[in-house]
């Protein structure tokens, strides 16, 4: 299952911002629903690596995605389910390519 399949399954194809980063054999994707994000900053506060900031519209964005350790705190703390972390090990799903 690739990212598009996941997005279709979750019906998350509106106002979605994707930030894909591959580091140390791991791919981390930040999936942010800009419509659902209310800019409360909880995820920004809890991120241990200062990956997230609010943009000029008051919506969260991943400004340093290469520093993300995929700890999931942002996703777990968001009260509006507006941010999701997808992680994949290098080589996963190669058979489906
Ligand atoms: S915790 Fe959720 S609603 Fe608040 S800024 Fe982060 S993504 Fe947006
Ligand atoms: S998964 Fe962890 S390190 Fe990555 S953006 Fe979210 S809180 Fe920050």
* Domain assignment of residue 81, given as a range: 3-90
Residue 95 counted as domain residue: no
- What is the count of structural domains for the chain? 1
pTM strictly above 0.85: no
CA 35 vs CA 15, 57, 69, 78, 80: distances in Å: 6, 11, 25, 14, 10
Q: Which residue among 19, 52, 61 has the greatest number of ligand 2 atoms within 8 angstroms of its CB, and so is best to mutate?
A: 52
Q: Write the residue with the smallest CA distance to atom 7 of ligand 2.
A: 47
- The enclosing domain of 31 has a CATH number of 3.30.70.20
Residue 36 counted as domain residue: yes
The string of pLDDT tens digits covering residues 71-81 is 999 999 999 99
The string of pLDDT tens digits covering residues 1-57 is 555 555 555 655 455 666 666 666 678 899 999 999 999 999 999 999 999 999 999
């Amino acid at each position: 299952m690739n990212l598009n399949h996941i997005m279709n399954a979750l019906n998350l194809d509106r106002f979605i911002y994707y930030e894909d980063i591959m580091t140390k054999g791991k791919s981390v994707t930040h999936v942010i629903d800009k419509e659902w994000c209310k800019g409360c900053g909880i995820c920004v506060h809890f991120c241990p690596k200062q990956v997230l900031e609010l943009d000029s519209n008051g919506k969260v964005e991943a400004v340093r995605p290469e520093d993300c350790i995929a700890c999931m705190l942002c996703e777990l703390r968001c009260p509006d389910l507006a941010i999701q972390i997808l992680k994949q090990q290098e080589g996963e799903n190669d058979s489906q390519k």
